[in-house]
Amino acid sequence: MEESQQQIGSLPSYWNSVIIAGAIFGLISAIGQLVGGYVLINTGEQSNIINVGFCLIGAFAGFTALWHYNDLGDFSMSLGRGALIGFLAGAVAALLSMGFVWIWKLIDPSYEQAFKQANIAMIENDGSIPDEWKQMSIDMIHDPSLMMTILTSIGGIVFMGVLNMLTGMLGVKVFGKKEEKF
Amino acid sequence: MSNRQTNLYLLVLVSISGVILVGLGGGLFNQQSPWQIQWQHEAFSNLCHQNPARSFWINGQPMAVCSRCLGIYAGFGIGWLTLPLYAIANMAEKWNFKKVAMAIVLINIFDIVGNILGFWENTLVSRLALGCMMGMSAALIFSGDFFKTIIKSKGNHYGRVTATDR
């Protein structure tokens, strides 16, 4: 018992792994959004190759964080700890992704307006959307409500965290040396 | 059969159920707002390409995730729910689910690359099926971690109790 408590007490901090993996996957996710945005601006269509290439890639922040964390020393990891590290890595990736896109909008101020116009044009040309919905969507793109922006940001962070919680647990199974028994 | 780490098992079960429910999009609840601005779509915008042409539709609205992502989440949910059954059958001792999962991931990559290069055209259903296999195989990696089977020996070792453990 004492030995296991000592082992738990000597576990290294996971924040480095969380921040490194979160930053990498936040950047990848932001690049995916921006490249997809520029393709939409320049062609008027979404790019399938870019879309498919970046699909679900954001869920691997937790897996990568566990890979990095496991290299910090020779210790055992529980699935619960893997889930926590994964969740935090996903949440950090979602936050940083928003931050990177926001910074890019400062670097290229014309991007946001051009992206809005391209989105509106795409919606107007989409025959599958009813006319009243088209107008609602266009109004929302022109003037997004603060509450909606906050709620969707929180939703994005939570879902990114949850999926990375699962990949974090997978990371324990793949990279972990030996699990603690409960 | 006894259960270990019950809280974590239930947390993942509730989480994946929530992910599937939200992933089905606003059409499931017949939401009367354009799907582009529904919170379900926004919640998955960092995780899935959400191309309507590559998603299933409910009530005239595309789901919040593409068909392959839906398959992955649904497959993981099914696999997670059936973990106790795999413990009863003691599958963790008989199968190496990590290798199975790796093989299915490679099949999915092969399918994506073949489709992009134009060798074949995958469909909504084929992507759903391959995604489902991937999600399920990922969940089964945890077989043996949350449930263990108590085996009571018969014959010469009558009375000896063995617990499956990894």
Say if strands B147-148 and B2-3 run parallel, antiparallel, or are unpaired: antiparallel
- What is the count of structural domains for chain A? 1
Measured between beta carbons, the chain A residues lying within 8 angstroms of B113 are: none
pLDDT digits (tens, 9 = 90+) for A42-77: 987 776 666 666 778 888 999 999 999 998 887 888
Asked if pLDDT for residue A5 goes beyond 80, the answer is no
pLDDT bracket for residue A6 (50, 70, 90): very low
Cβ atoms of residues B165 and B17 within 8 Å: no
**CB-based burial label for A85 (10 Å; 0-12, 13-18, 19+):** buried
The residue with greater pLDDT, A140 or A103, is A103
Nearest CA to CA, how far is A7 from chain B (Å)?
19
pLDDT at A89 over 90: yes
A93 chain-B contacts, CB cut-off 8 A = 46
C-beta atoms of B12 and A169 within 8 A: yes
Q: Check whether B153 has a pLDDT greater than 50.
A: yes
Q: At B139, is the pLDDT very low, low, confident or very high (cuts 50, 70, 90)?
A: very high
Question: pLDDT for B30-71, tens place per residue?
Answer: 887 778 778 888 888 878 888 888 899 998 889 999 999 999
Residue type, A175: F
Residue A124 scores a pLDDT above 70: yes
Give the domain range for residue A111: 2-175
Q: How does pLDDT run across B102-130, given as a tens digit for each residue?
A: 999 999 999 989 988 889 999 999 999 99
B39 to A148: CB separation less than 8 angstroms, yes or no: yes
Does position A34 have pLDDT exceeding 80, yes or no?
yes
According to the model, what pLDDT value does residue B145 have? 86
* Residue of A48, A54, A159 with shortest CB distance to B44: A159
The per-residue pLDDT for A149 is 83
pLDDT at residue B78 greater than cutoff 60: yes
DSSP letter, residue B47: T
The beta-carbon neighbor of A140 closest among B37, B45, B141 is: B37
pLDDT for B30 equals: 85
For chain A, count helices (H), then strands (E).
8, 0
Helix (H/G/I), strand (E/B), else coil: B60: coil
Nearest to A182 among B5, B22, B49 (CB): B5
Nearest to B39 by CA among A151, A125, A112, A69: A151
Write out chain A residues lying below 8 Å of B39, CB-based: 148, 151-152, 155
Residue B150 has pLDDT above 60, yes or no: yes
pLDDT 10s digits, A72-87: 887 888 999 999 999 9
Cα angle value B8/B10/B16 (rounded, 5°): 100
Structural domain boundaries in chain B: 2-163
Confidence of residue B166 (pLDDT cuts 50, 70, 90): very low
- Chain B residues in contact with A123 by the CB 8 A cut-off are 36
Q: What is the pLDDT of residue A134?
A: 80
A2 confidence band (pLDDT: 50, 70, 90)? very low
pLDDT at A111: 92
Out of A46, A159, A182, the one facing B47 most closely (by C-beta) is: A159
Q: How far apart are CA B163 and CA B148, in angstroms?
A: 6
Within a domain: A169: yes
* Mean residue pLDDT across chain B: 86
ipTM: 0.83
Residue A49: per-residue pLDDT: 65
* pLDDT score, position A131: 78
Q: Which of residues 50-79 of A touch B (CB under 8 A)?
A: 51-52, 54-56, 58-59, 79
Look at residue A180 and tell me if it is in a domain: no
**Residue B152: band (very low, low, confident or very high) from pLDDT cuts 50, 70, 90:** low
Chain A residues 15-54 with CB within 8 Å of chain B: 29, 33, 36, 46, 48-49, 51-52, 54
> Which residues of B are less than 8 Å from A129 in CB distance?
34
How far is residue B148 CA from its own chain's centroid?
21
Q: What is the mean pLDDT of residues B77-101?
A: 87
Query: What pLDDT does B88 receive?
Result: 82
